[in-house]
Structure 1
Amino acid sequence: MDKTKTIAALFDFDGVVMDTESQYTIYWNEIGRKYHPDIENFGLLVKGQTLSQIYDRFFKGMEAEQAEITKGLNKFESEMKYEYVSGVVDFMKELREKGVKTAIVTSSNEKKMANVYSVHPELKNLVDRILTAEMFTRSKPAPDCFLLGAEVFGTVADNCVVFEDSFHGLQAGKAAGMKVVGLSTTNSKEAITGKCDMVIPDFADFTYSDVVSLLDK
């Protein structure tokens, strides 16, 4: 850790700040069964990717299908339950009290996040920045979004801790050269062990001191 630089905590959104991933898995599995019945566990396959990335990979040239999926997804997200992952609110507040810069770094777009703000208007005041899919060209597993997180706070990768749950997100954090904490909210502890620096079930017992200890390793 560079003692002269700001510490930054970069949080993925779904499955890290909000416990929504199980809902998305249901939606995307249904899409997979309808359009790609040959692909198993479609919902898990697309986690951590932007909508445009999903379309480019699985629905290229299928404009009518894309429009139908987008319409269904917008309706689905407007009706979703947005519940905080245990301990994350208190953890974010503690970090800011300690002078740590915090950002939500998500593959979600502004339209989806507007749905979240309508349910949780306080979210914008819990972190310093919210970086959405519109702000970077390459999505996870590319490191661009997390590198942007370091850039907006004027800090370096060595001073950043990423909190992620998806395989693509974990890859992106490591590719950015940052410390990565994996949450076993979406994938099991066994599945993500070895893909990050440590695994936690939620933020109930995770503190600022744990962040500093991780950065000092």
Structure 2
Amino acid sequence: MGGFHQKSCNFVTANITIMNNIGILFDLDGVLVDSEGEYTKFWGGMGERYGLVPTFAADIKGTTIGEILLNFPEADREWILGELHAFEADMQYPVYPGVMEFLRELRESGVPSAIVTSSDNVKMDLLFARRPELRGMIDALVTGSMVTRSKPDPEGYLKGAGLIGVPIERCYVFEDSMQGLQAGRSSGAKVIGIATTNPRSKVETIADLTLDSMHGISLACISAVR
């Protein structure tokens, strides 16, 4: 995409002007919380149990639970969903370094934000019970239960932009999965790729700005992306 492909935001210079009237749209797993590895284990195990392709756990990243379950026998889907919710209830959802600092900067600067995730409402209730500090720093939430089309369709990000009242072309999407990165690109937003789940070389093919992590992220950093 001809964007910035940096490991961190250390390249930002002090004279960059912070843009006004922007919005931030975050994916959740692999961007705000370090949970993708646990989901890879869960879905990898389920894929193996049902004889699915070895890349199944990677292929479904960014898609809703409803679409994921279509890969399994209908008679077993309710059981699999129950197993998933039990698994999620035991997860810790550690917040990545740099996330809370960035969320505080957004709040102090009056920049609205939303989480746009393929996770369902049950999982989000579990996460916010475990990490209540996250809920208080986010202005809106779009879950997989609220959309009819999963990523890479841009529906979720367009809905998120509408909820925070910012035109999508003035929004910045933070994503780690290839499905999510494509959803951000298709929406018309600027795309910040976080290389936590996929190799940088893949993320860079879609993102306007590619970073290794959220550590050190700031409004000045993303304002370099026009």
1:97: which partner in 2?
108
CA contact under 8 A between 2:139 and 2:164: conserved in structure 1?
A: no
Query: Are 1:87 and 2:102 an aligned pair?
Result: no
2:29: which partner in 1?
14
Query: Are 1:43 and 2:54 an aligned pair?
Result: no
Paired residue secondary structure (1:118): helix
Mapped to 2, the partners of 1:30 and 1:123 lie a distance apart of: 29
CA RMSD between the two structures = 1.6
Any gaps of 5 or more consecutive residues in structure 1? Answer: none
Q: Which runs of 4+ in 1 moved over 6 A?
A: none
CA offsets, 1:125-179, max 9 Å, x none? Answer: 1111121112211110000000011111222122000000001000000000111
Mapped to 2, the partners of 1:6 and 1:52 lie a distance apart of: 35
CA offsets, 1:14-57, max 9 Å, x none? Answer: 001100000000100001101134x122110110011101123x
Query: Are 1:113 and 2:124 an aligned pair?
Result: yes
Q: Which 10-residue stretch deviates more, 82-91 or 197-206?
A: 197-206
CA offsets, 1:55-97, max 9 Å, x none? Answer: 23x13xx222111211110111001121011201100110121
Paired residue secondary structure (1:180): strand
Mapped to 1, the partners of 2:215 and 2:64 lie a distance apart of: 29
1:33 aligns with one of 28, 48, 59: 48
Mapped to 2, the partners of 1:155 and 1:8 lie a distance apart of: 6
1:123 aligns with one of 113, 134, 137: 134
1:173: which partner in 2?
184
Paired residue secondary structure (1:74): helix
Could you tell me which amino acid in structure 2 is paired with residue 91 of structure 1? Answer: F
Q: Looking at secondary structure, tell me which structure has more helix per residue.
A: 1
Query: Are 1:190 and 2:204 an aligned pair?
Result: no
Superposition map of 1:37-76 within 5 A: 37=52, 39-56=53-70, 58-59=71-72, 62-76=73-87
Mapped to 2, the partners of 1:170 and 1:8 lie a distance apart of: 17
Tell me by how many angstroms 1:213 deviates. 2.2
CA contact under 8 A between 1:13 and 1:105: conserved in structure 2?
A: yes
Sequence identity (%)? 38
Any gaps of 5 or more consecutive residues in structure 2? Answer: 1-17
Higher relative contact order (CA closer than 8 Å, sequence separation 6+): 2
Q: Which 10-residue stretch deviates more, 14-23 or 125-134?
A: 125-134
CA contact under 8 A between 1:5 and 1:159: conserved in structure 2?
A: no
Query: Are 1:145 and 2:159 an aligned pair?
Result: no
Tell me by how many angstroms 1:120 deviates. 1.1
Mapped to 2, the partners of 1:205 and 1:5 lie a distance apart of: 20
Mapped to 2, the partners of 1:176 and 1:101 lie a distance apart of: 18
Tell me by how many angstroms 1:5 deviates. 7.3
Mapped to 2, the partners of 1:5 and 1:17 lie a distance apart of: 23
Please give the TM-score of this superposition, normalised by the length of structure 2.
0.88
Paired residue secondary structure (1:126): coil
Could you tell me which amino acid in structure 2 is paired with residue 88 of structure 1? Answer: V
